[in-house]
Amino acid sequence: MRRALALAIVATLVAGPSVAAPNAQLVASVQNRLDRLGFSAVEADRLSTRQIAALHLQLQGRALDFGPQRLTTRQRVKTILRWDPPTR
């Protein structure tokens, strides 16, 4: 009984990561929004799941509209991408 349980645990751990990769449609949507915001050099499929999720949430609604909101959005995207120099 213990051996079967141990084998099941090992098989589960070896099977693969417990976190799934982001959905391809979500990645494509984030890539489209990044392109529209001027970050076309970023390859969304190379970003982490956390970054994709954060960008998806950040780029909702009127975030891409021109004006002060767009500047704030660009700054937040840079932070998510870790493009901002550290502040002291």
Residue 16 lies in a domain: no
Residue 75 lies in a domain: yes
**Mean pLDDT throughout 47-72?**
91
pLDDT-derived band at 5, boundaries 50, 70, 90: low
Please tell me the pTM assigned to this model: 0.70
Residue 61 lies in a domain: yes
Q: Domain limits at 85?
A: 22-88
**Mean pLDDT throughout 64-86?**
86
Total domains in the fold of the chain:
1
Residue 11 lies in a domain: no
Tell me how long the chain is: 88
Residue 2 lies in a domain: no
CA 33 to chain centroid: 13
Is residue 29 predicted with pLDDT exceeding 80?
yes
User: 77: burial class by Cβ within 10 Å (0-12, 13-18, 19+)?
Assistant: buried
Is residue 6 predicted with pLDDT exceeding 90?
no
**Mean pLDDT throughout 19-47?**
91
pLDDT at 83: 79
**Helices H / strands E in the chain, number of each:** 4, 0
What is the rounded distance in angstroms from the CA atom of residue 67 to the CA atom of residue 20?
A: 36
